[in-house]
Amino acid sequence: MRFRIFTLTCATLFLAMPVFPYGALGHETVGAIADMKLAGTPTGAQVTKLLNGITLSRASVLADEIKGWDRLPKGQPKPILLKDHPQLQEQLVAFWEANPPTKAKGSDAPTHKEFHYTDVPAVDGGKYVKGNLGTEPYDIVQMIPFCVRVLSGAEPETNARKITKPIALILLAHYVGDIHQPLHVGNAYFSSAGNLVNPTKGGKSFPDHGGNGFNIILSDAQTSKKDSKADSKSGGKSSGKKSSKSKGTNLHSFWDSDAVEAALKHVDTQIEKQPNHKGKATDEEVIAWFANSEPTDWKPAAKSQPTEWAQAWANEIIPMSTQAHERLEFSNVTIKNESASGDATEKKMPDGISYLEWSGLRTEEELHKAGWRLAAIIEASLESKKPTAPKTKSTQ
């Protein structure tokens, strides 16, 4: 199993802060692909300058690491995450303070935690439409273009969210990974009786909030035994009752960690099967595998603007979220605090593919696209900031 493998040049920056494992591994993978894609380019040089040498791989986990600050007593100084980069640390603190975890219902001051996801119903034909059920003014589909506007100069760095250009890069490095994780976009909804329902057809329903309240039970007993914390909207704690068969991993955690590990293991195998390859695949080989081969269907629609890409990505991932729920049987469902929780047991599917294998293959595809898309959206956002060639006087 890999742990924080793609930030080798920034190892001294890691402190004992809580990190919700796409977990660190998935996010670092996406950031590292973008780092390699942008290496040696004018955009890469701009990124290096804005982040003071911090890689996108390292930057990609900061939006999760600051969740550890949410549990600190009021007024307590924030632990240092960027020891050698005091200005970035200061900007990160200012961002947290402008978007603290104290949002009241109807408040105009959002919490940074809601920037990571949206709760669109994961039903056939489901689409992200701003203002519809499950969307919020500051959800991930709205925050990605916000960051794009900051980088391009269309949104001033003095904005109320305290998102400067460096912070915009840090957030994009994370949010682009999040929006390619199906449970960060599509949600299952349940009736008060605990039945799976289509909330668009009316009636009271309750979301599963990215699967954080459901214990996943795999039929082949491959469920992880670790009680890992989710990159969650509920503080990473499962509110569901564990069944006797549960191994202690919630559904969101599974997609954040187990699916990522399965995806990278599959890449390892492909590399190691290559002619003349000796030994185990290295971390650098894994990133090069992603960066040097173009993923399928990753490009944005022709003539679309980077501020429109997030909504397109969300709509693309919703069908996967639908399948991620359809391949499970939900039981012992309870409703508490307007949220559903319970058990999610793997179904035996006609295709004969296990949930772990299926999720790993899908996650491999999404990590691949996310890395290329992160590089592309940063390049497109900074394009207007590139130095232009001086005009030469025409001769007569």
Say which residue, 391 or 81, is predicted with more confidence. 81
The label of the residue with tokens 């402008």 reads 98
Closest CA to 324 of 373, 258, 374, 240: 258
What does the pLDDT read at residue 245? 37
Determine the average pLDDT of the residues in 58-75: 95
22: its two tokens: 């796409």
Whole-angstrom distance, CA of residue 25 vs CA of residue 150: 27
Is the per-residue pLDDT at 387 higher than 80?
Answer: no
With H, G, I as helix, E, B as strand and everything else as coil, classify residue 240: coil
What does the pLDDT read at residue 39? 97
Domain ranges of the chain: 16-292+302-377
Whole-angstrom distance, CA of residue 50 vs CA of residue 196: 46
Over residues 130-140, the pLDDT tens digits come to 999 999 999 99
Task: Give the rounded percent of residues in the chain with a pLDDT score beyond 70.
Answer: 82
What does the pLDDT read at residue 240? 31
Closest CA to 10 of 84, 89, 93, 86: 84
Determine the average pLDDT of the residues in 288-316: 97
At the topology level, CATH places domain 16-292+302-377 in P1 Nuclease (1.10.575)
Over residues 70-86, the pLDDT tens digits come to 999 988 999 999 999 99
Determine the average pLDDT of the residues in 216-245: 45
What does the pLDDT read at residue 383? 84
Is the per-residue pLDDT at 244 higher than 60?
Answer: no
Over residues 348-380, the pLDDT tens digits come to 999 999 999 999 999 999 999 999 999 999 999
Instruction: For residue 42, report the phi and psi dihedrals to the nearest 5 degrees.
Output: -60, -35
Instruction: For residue 318, report the phi and psi dihedrals to the nearest 5 degrees.
Output: -55, -45
Average pLDDT, the chain: 86
With H, G, I as helix, E, B as strand and everything else as coil, classify residue 389: coil
Least confident of 35-44, 214-223, 358-367, 386-395: 386-395
Strand order across the 339-346 sheet: 214-217, 339-346, 328-336
What does the pLDDT read at residue 50? 98
Over residues 190-217, the pLDDT tens digits come to 999 999 999 988 889 999 989 999 999 9
Which of the four pLDDT bands, split at 50, 70 and 90, describes residue 106? low
200: its two tokens: 């668009």
Is the per-residue pLDDT at 20 higher than 60?
Answer: no
Whole-angstrom distance, CA of residue 203 vs CA of residue 150: 40
Over residues 140-179, the pLDDT tens digits come to 999 999 999 999 999 999 999 999 999 999 999 999 999 9
What does the pLDDT read at residue 109? 75
DSSP state of 274: S
Which of the four pLDDT bands, split at 50, 70 and 90, describes residue 384? low
What does the pLDDT read at residue 197? 93
pTM for the whole structure: 0.87
Task: Give the rounded percent of residues in the chain with a pLDDT score beyond 90.
Answer: 77
Pairing status of strand 339-346 against strand 214-217: parallel
What does the pLDDT read at residue 337? 86
